[in-house]
Amino acid sequence: MDFFLYILECADGSFYIGHTDDLDKRMEQHDLGLGCAYTARRRPVKLIHTQAFETRYEALSMERKLKGWSRAKKLAYMAGDWDAVRVLSKGKHEHQR
């Protein structure tokens, strides 16, 4: 069984990050405004990224990691731009020099 990390873009432009073992069911819940107060107030939502993991622990770990990242770093991650992720990981001021 796969577990999925997913990223939604909300109607207000914000991102919501979660994980699930049933992506279709979870998307239906988000679309109906059920199960998540954050996305219920920011519908419609659009699925913009998914990544499969072998275990729930791996998916949850990545979810927690991404939630602490800046918007720019999340965008670089979704684009697969690992050079930008690395630069953005060096701290706020180091990459601005």
Instruction: For 17-33, write each residue's pLDDT tens digit.
Output: 999 999 999 999 999 99
- Under the banding of pLDDT at 50, 70 and 90, the label for residue 95 is very low
- The residue written with tokens 């180091």 in the block is 94
Contact 3, 55 (CB under 8 A): yes
pLDDT in tens, 63-78: 999 999 999 999 999 9
**Backbone conformation region of residue 80, classed left if phi is above 0, alpha if psi is from -120 to 50, else beta:** left
The reported pTM is: 0.89
- What is the predicted pLDDT for the residue at 75? 97
pLDDT in tens, 30-52: 999 998 999 999 999 999 999 99
Question: 3-69 has which CATH code?
Answer: 3.40.1440.10
